[in-house]
Amino acid sequence: MLIIVKLYSRLRQGVSFNIAMKFLVFLFFFVLSVRAFAQDKSLEGIVFDKNTKERIAEVDIMNSTTGRSSYNSLKGEFKINAEIGDVLIFTKQNYRPDTIKVQDHTSLAIYMFRLSIQLREVSIHDSVLTPDEQLEATKNDYTKIYGSLAQRGLLSTSSDGVGISIDALYNIFSRSGRNAAHLRETIQQDYYQNVIDYRFNRALVTRVTGLKDAQLIDFMQKYRPGYFFVTTATDYEFITYIKSNYKRYLRRPKAYTLPALTK
């Protein structure tokens, strides 16, 4: 304040009163804006699961002092405007709410307790079969549709020469033949999906992206590769495909989400 008085006295000596007053008004509002900007400080941190020590996403962080709230990122990181003395409340479904009072503006590590114990997913199989082995096992279970009912060629050859195949005619025009063809097509489509699942599996995608649980399922459903790419891409190309789509997923996590069903 003393500096402003000295400036005011000097300005009156060299310039007119109106100019001096305009300068002082400008200086006054400039000081107020600087102080307001200095008071608008942000607080950063990361939210973890207390038991697993894994990062938690989609946590609602509310400053109960100002009434403002925001969600943290997919990596569990958050940033919110808060002053010393403000009270922050962290809430998330299936977790116990956590409340802290801001002591300073150093980065925070918040650990939230899960209300229920989450069991790890365990898959039990009699044996681990490749897609080709599964297809062969299916063919053995449906020997009839891959035997006489699989004959579709009209021409048959024998020692007597070339003729028309009766089995082929029967399979084309009979209901059982058409049903067998439809079932074979379904089994073949299942085989294609098994090939995709065999390479585009959860273990690999988790190792490349770090995604888990609901986010992992969401990502794998939205960016599932095709059969041709899975069978022709090299390991490097396949990993690059997952990484590039993971970046797209982080930029737009809601992209390719199906709209809610209307009543």
Residues 108 and 50 in one domain: yes
Among 103, 99, 45, 97, CA closest to 76? 45
Q: Which of the listed residues 54, 81, 112 is the one where a domain comes to its end?
A: 112
Within a domain: 15:
no
Residues 231 and 173 in one domain: no
Residue 62 domain boundaries: 42-112
Residues 107 and 48 in one domain: yes
Predicted local distance difference test score (pLDDT) of residue 105: 86
CATH code of the domain containing 83: 2.60.40.1120
Within a domain: 140:
yes
Indicate the residue type of 228: F
Residues 176 and 209 in one domain: no
* Residues lower than pLDDT 70 in the chain: 1-40, 116-128, 143-178, 180, 258-263
Q: Which of the listed residues 190, 212, 237 is the one where a domain comes to its end?
A: 190
Within a domain: 263:
no
Residues 48 and 70 in one domain: yes
Predicted local distance difference test score (pLDDT) of residue 230: 92
Residues 55 and 107 in one domain: yes
d(C-alpha 136, C-alpha 131), whole Å: 9
Predicted local distance difference test score (pLDDT) of residue 201: 93
Predicted local distance difference test score (pLDDT) of residue 256: 74
Within a domain: 86:
yes
Residues 186 and 221 in one domain: no
Residue with tokens 């396949």: 238
Residues 184 and 219 in one domain: no
114 phi and psi angles, rounded to 5 deg:
-75, 135
Residues 60 and 99 in one domain: yes
Predicted local distance difference test score (pLDDT) of residue 262: 61
Within a domain: 17:
no
Within a domain: 22:
no
State pLDDT tens for residues 117-165: 554 555 544 456 788 888 888 777 776 666 554 554 444 455 554 444 4
**pTM recorded for the entire structure:** 0.43
Within a domain: 182:
yes
**Three state DSSP letters for the chain:** CHHHHHHHHHHHHHCCHHHHHHHHHHHHHHHHHHHHHHHCCEEEEEEEECCCCCECCCCEEEECCCCEEEECCCCCEEEEECCCCCEEEEECCCECCEEEECCCCCCEEEEECECCCCCCCCCCCCCCCCHHHHHHHHHHHCCCCCCHHHCCCCEEEECCEEEECHHHHHHHHCHHHHHHHHHHHHHHHHHHHHHHHHHCCHHHHHHHHCCCHHHHHHHHHHCCCCHHHHHHCCHHHHHHHHHHHHHHHHHCCCCCCCCCCCC
Q: Which of the listed residues 190, 215, 231 is the one where a domain comes to its end?
A: 190
Residues 185 and 205 in one domain: no
Residues 106 and 46 in one domain: yes
> What is the number of structural domains in the chain?
3
The two tokens of residue 211 are 């995604």
Residue 177 CB-density burial (10 A; 0-12 exposed, 13-18 middle, 19+ buried): buried
Predicted local distance difference test score (pLDDT) of residue 163: 43
Within a domain: 9:
no
Predicted local distance difference test score (pLDDT) of residue 225: 94
Residues 134 and 155 in one domain: yes
